[in-house]
Amino acid sequence: MKFSTLAVRAGQNPNPYNGAVTVPVSLCSTYAYESFGNMRDNFEYARTDNPSRRALETTLAMLEGAKHAVSFASGQAASTSVLNLLESGDEVVTTSDIYGGTYRLFHDIFKKYGIRFITAESNSAESLVAKFSERTAIVWAETPSNPLLALLDIAELAERIKNFRNQKRNKPSLVIDNTFPSPALQNPLALGADIVTHSCTKYIGGHSDVIGGVVILNDDELWEKIKFYQNAAGAVPSPMDCFLLQRGIKTLPLRMKKHGENANAVANFLRGHKNVEHVFFPGFDDFPGHEIVAKQMRGLPGMVSFRIRGGIQEVSRFFRKLQIVILAESLGGTESLICHPATMTHASFPESEQKRAGITPNLIRVSLGIEDTDDLIDDFRNALDSLDDNL
């Protein structure tokens, strides 16, 4: 089945008991044994497994072309399950800019357990591999990255890791946070990644009404470990969360197309406005690594970042003048959201790290929704034009 069909049908067969075409919300917390020592379809307790969650995990695995998916109550809970694979003394090499919540999880939670996190100079495969050592256990990457949308050639990095394994007899796992592209636009496992994570809160859910996360992979041994963690730690999504995520998935291909169209139009408009200093958008022909888009992606997500002329005062005035685009954290919803990374999504970065990563005080990140394109451009134009008296 093609992706659009999978989004509607994968893991979503009609109920065998009553023919319901929508996967029901199973609110049961515990399940009666058919007989002593004999569970019904391996259902015992809802923290361990639940019909709604099983259906969602089947759908998510099929969307990424994978054997296994393990869902969690949030993207951060999903990331925590992967980091739980590490032992004291292990090292994690990361791309130069990553989501602020991931940075906080690395440095404020897991660092105290003796795990070392090393940041590459850029998002290139060469830069990441240059940081490898005998203790490298995980390579953690985002592509496009958050918030500068830097691109990484996943296949090239996977090949370099394979060569490193052969030389050093080490086995670092390549983890790709695929939240920005979603499985509609990019499938890292097919390119050589070992583990894929998503904040399902974003494009997968798509309506800013549910929190969730998932780990997707093919390796049976790693799946057993993460599945064990899911049950033991208990950070699982509720049946209603699973229902909402699965409902959102049905329109994922349609939404991603409109998100990308709006992002392309807004990025080109921003690039031509006198009060915009720089625009970060992988769709530009001169964007660093632009050729990677055609190599490993089927389109562009609805994300654009840009630097406004001026500083915090101009940023504040610009936000106040917007009428359609909403100032809020998160991304991937049907409504357009805008944020100030330095004080919002990436506030957990120390000032020195913000400077190193290029998260400047005048940097703005936009998640384009599915509103009318002309309305969005008019909103940006009016807000940017209001800065004329200040600049």
Per-residue pLDDT of the chain (391 residues; tens, 9 = 90+): 899 999 999 988 888 888 889 888 999 999 999 999 999 989 999 999 999 999 999 999 999 999 999 999 999 999 999 999 999 999 999 999 999 999 999 999 999 999 999 999 999 999 999 999 999 999 999 999 999 999 999 999 999 999 887 676 678 999 999 999 999 999 999 999 999 999 999 999 999 999 999 999 999 999 999 999 999 999 999 999 999 999 999 999 999 999 999 999 999 999 999 999 999 999 999 999 999 999 999 999 999 999 999 999 999 999 999 999 999 999 999 999 999 999 999 999 999 999 999 999 999 999 999 999 999 999 999 999 999 977 7
Phi, psi of 178, rounded to the nearest 5 degrees: -100, 25
The residue assigned the tokens 């292990």 is 90
pLDDT of residue 156: 97
Q: Where are the domains of the chain?
A: 3-249, 252-385
Q: How far apart are CA 93 and CA 110, in angstroms?
A: 14
- What are the beta bridge partners of residue 276? 308
Q: What is the CA radius of gyration of the chain?
A: 21
pLDDT of residue 168: 67
Tokens describing residue 390 = 């200040």
Residue 305 contacts residue 147 (beta carbons within 8 Å)? yes
- Rounded to 10 degrees, what is the CA torsion of 291, 307, 185, 91? 80
Same CATH topology for 3-249 and 252-385: the answer is no
CATH architecture of residue range(s) 3-249: 3-Layer(aba) Sandwich (3.40)
Q: For this structure, is 103 an active site residue?
A: no
Q: For this structure, is 202 an active site residue?
A: yes
pLDDT of residue 169: 65
Tokens describing residue 267 = 């990025």
End-to-end alpha carbon distance in the chain: 54
Q: Which residue among the candidates 31, 99, 103, 229 is catalytic per the annotation?
A: 99
Q: How far apart are CA 381 and CA 161, in angstroms?
A: 45
Q: For this structure, is 17 an active site residue?
A: no
Q: Which residue among the candidates 153, 177, 194, 379 is catalytic per the annotation?
A: 177
Residue 78 contacts residue 217 (beta carbons within 8 Å)? no
pTM, two decimals, is 0.96
Domain 252-385 homologous superfamily, CATH: Aspartate Aminotransferase, domain 1 (3.90.1150.10)
Burial 158-189 (b: 16+ CB within 10 A, else e): bebbeebeeeeeeebbbbbbbbbbbbbbbbbb
Q: Which residue among the candidates 202, 203, 229, 255 is catalytic per the annotation?
A: 202
Residue type, 261: E
What letter would DSSP give residue 350?
-
Q: For this structure, is 47 an active site residue?
A: yes
Tokens describing residue 207 = 């309506």
The residue assigned the tokens 């969360």 is 241
pLDDT of residue 170: 75
